[in-house]
DNA sequence: CTTCATGCAAAAGATTTGCAAGTTC
DNA sequence: GAACTTGCAAATCTTTTGCATGAAG
C-alpha cells in the first residue's frame, strides 16, 4: 500500500548513484551522513513529477521520522546543489521541485488548456545548449525546457467557443 | 532620482500596448479598471530582471498608494494571465517574476551553486521551437528554458575545496 | 445603484532559526 | 571528545482573506 500515487522507482543502480553523489557532497563539506539525510534523498528520488517541500516532509515522516520538517528544509539546498533535485516554475504557484538526477533531458510541449504533455527530444537543441554553456564557461548538469501553448484540438474548441 | 536601480523603460508605445492588453483582460472578466491596477502594471513593466511580489509592492507604494500589498497580490494572477509577467524559477529561492510582455523569448543559464543567472537569447533556438511546435500543431504562448549547471568561478572553488 | 475594489487588520501558510540532547567521525 | 545533527518550539516571512468603506460601470 502506498500513501501517494506520485511515486516512481528509479532503477536501483541509479538510486545508488544518486545517493553516492549526495554522500560525496556531504563529505566534501565535512557534513555527516545520517539516516534521515539518506532517507530524504531516497524519498525525493521516488517522487514523480513536481512536488513541494511539504510533500517531501510527509514522505519522510511516513518513513518513520518524527518531525522531519526542519531537517528536510535544511537538506533541500544540499539536494539542489548535488543536482538531485531542481527547482521548477510551472504556474507560479508554490515552490516546486522535481528530480533532476538521471533525467537530464526534460523537454516538454504542454497544452495549457487541456494539460496534454508531449515529450520531445531534439538533438539539435542539445548541441546548441552545449555550445552555449561552453561559451559562458558553465558545466551543465541539467536543463529544463518547456514550451507552453495550445494544442491543435484546443485551438479547435476555442474557435467554436468564440 | 530613482528609488531603485532595477528600473527600465519600455518604449511608450509598448507600455501602452501592455496596458491595453491588461484592460482587455479586465473588461473580458467584467473587472474594473482602477488607478491602482494600472499603476501596478506600469510598475511591473518598468522593472528589469527578476523581482519578487514584495518588490513590486514597494514600487507601487512609492507611487503613492498607502498599503498596496493585498491589491498587488490580488493583481499578480491577472498580470500572469494577461502575459505581462511570467514566473521564473531561478535558484528555487523566493517566487520571482519578470516582465514577459514584449520580451516573450529569453532563456536562462543558471548556476546552482551561486545562483548566478545569465540571460541569453539565441535565434536558432527560437526557430527550432517554432518548427517543433508547428509540427505538433501547437500554438506557442510561452516557454521556460533553463540550463542548469555550475559556472566557471564555482567550478574553480570546487577544485580548491576538494 | 449594483457590483466590485481597496486598505487595513488578522489569519494562514511556508520557511528559518535557536537550543538542548543525541549522533557521527 | 569535538563538531555536527535532530526534533521541537518559536520566530519570520510571505501570501491570502474578511470586512467596512469607497469607486467604477
The 10s digit of each residue's pLDDT in B94-116 is 678 888 887 756 678 877 666 67
User: Does B82 touch chain A if contact means CB atoms closer than 8 Å?
Assistant: no
Residue A3 clears pLDDT 60, i.e. is over it: no
Check: CB of residue A71 under 8 Å from CB of residue A79.
no
Pick from B109, B113, B140: CB nearest A136: B109
Check: CB of residue A115 under 8 Å from CB of residue A148.
no
User: Does A42 touch chain B if contact means CB atoms closer than 8 Å?
Assistant: no
Check: CB of residue B21 under 8 Å from CB of residue B101.
yes
Confidence of residue A159 (pLDDT cuts 50, 70, 90): low
Q: What's the mean pLDDT in A35-49?
A: 96
Tell me the residues of chain A between 89 and 128 that have a Cβ less than 8 Å away from chain B.
89-92, 95, 97, 100, 109, 111-112, 118, 120, 122, 124-125, 128
Cell numbers found for residue B23:
484592460
Each residue's pLDDT tens digit, A52-99: 999 999 999 999 999 999 999 999 999 998 989 987 765 555 678 888
Check: CB of residue A129 under 8 Å from CB of residue B149.
no
Confidence of residue A128 (pLDDT cuts 50, 70, 90): confident
Cell numbers found for residue A108:
516538454
Can you tell me the distance from the alpha carbon of A102 to that of A83, in angstroms, rounded to the nearest whole number?
10
- Maximum Cα interatomic distance, chain B, rounded to a whole number of Å: 61
Residue A161 clears pLDDT 70, i.e. is over it: no
Of A138 and A113, the structure prediction assigns the larger pLDDT to A138
Name A117's Cβ contacts closer than 8 Å, sequence gap at least 6: A108, A109, A110, A111
Pick from B128, B137, B149: CB nearest A151: B137
Q: Considering the entire predicted model, what is its pTM?
A: 0.75
Q: What's the mean pLDDT in A11-18?
A: 73
Phi-psi region of B85 (alpha: psi -120 to 50; beta: other; left: phi over 0): beta
Question: Taking all atoms of strand C, which protein residues have CB closer than 7 Å?
Answer: A 32-35, 52-54, 69-70, 73-74, 76, 94-95; B 26, 30-32, 34, 36-37, 65-71, 74-75
Pick from B89, B109, B129: CB nearest A138: B109
What is the DSSP code (8-state) at residue B87?
E
- Closest nucleotide to B32, Cα to C1': D24
All residue ranges of chain B with pLDDT < 50 are 1-6
Cell numbers 551561486 correspond to B114
Q: What's the mean pLDDT in A130-156?
A: 83
Cβ of B155 within 8 Å of Cβ of A132? The answer is no
Alpha-carbon gap: B111 to the closest alpha carbon of chain A (Å): 8
Can you tell me the distance from the alpha carbon of B42 to that of B19, in angstroms, rounded to the nearest whole number?
8
Residue A146: closest C-alpha in chain B: B144
Measured CA distances, A103 to A142, B98, B101, B147 (Å): 8, 27, 31, 13
Q: Enumerate helices (H) and strands (E) in chain A, giving the number of each.
A: 6, 5
Amino acid at each position: 500500500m502506498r500513501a501517494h500515487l506520485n511515486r516512481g522507482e528509479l532503477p536501483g543502480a541509479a538510486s545508488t548513484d544518486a545517493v553516492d553523489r549526495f554522500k560525496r557532497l556531504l563529505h566534501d563539506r565535512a557534513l555527516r551522513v545520517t539516516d534521515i539525510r539518506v532517507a530524504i534523498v531516497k524519498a525525493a528520488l521516488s517522487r514523480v513529477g513536481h512536488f513541494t517541500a511539504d510533500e517531501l516532509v510527509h514522505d519522510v515522516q511516513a518513513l518513520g521520522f518524527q518531525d522531519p520538517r526542519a531537517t528536510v528544509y535544511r537538506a533541500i539546498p544540499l539536494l539542489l546543489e548535488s543536482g538531485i533535485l531542481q527547482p521548477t516554475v510551472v504556474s507560479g504557484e508554490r515552490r516546486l521541485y522535481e528530480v533532476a538526477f538521471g533525467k537530464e533531458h526534460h523537454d516538454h510541449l504542454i497544452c495549457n488548456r487541456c494539460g496534454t504533455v508531449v515529450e520531445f527530444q531534439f538533438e539539435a537543441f542539445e548541441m546548441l545548449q552545449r555550445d552555449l554553456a561552453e561559451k559562458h564557461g558553465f558545466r551543465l548538469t541539467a536543463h529544463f525546457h518547456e514550451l507552453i501553448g495550445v494544442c491543435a484540438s484546443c485551438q479547435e474548441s476555442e474557435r467554436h467557443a468564440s
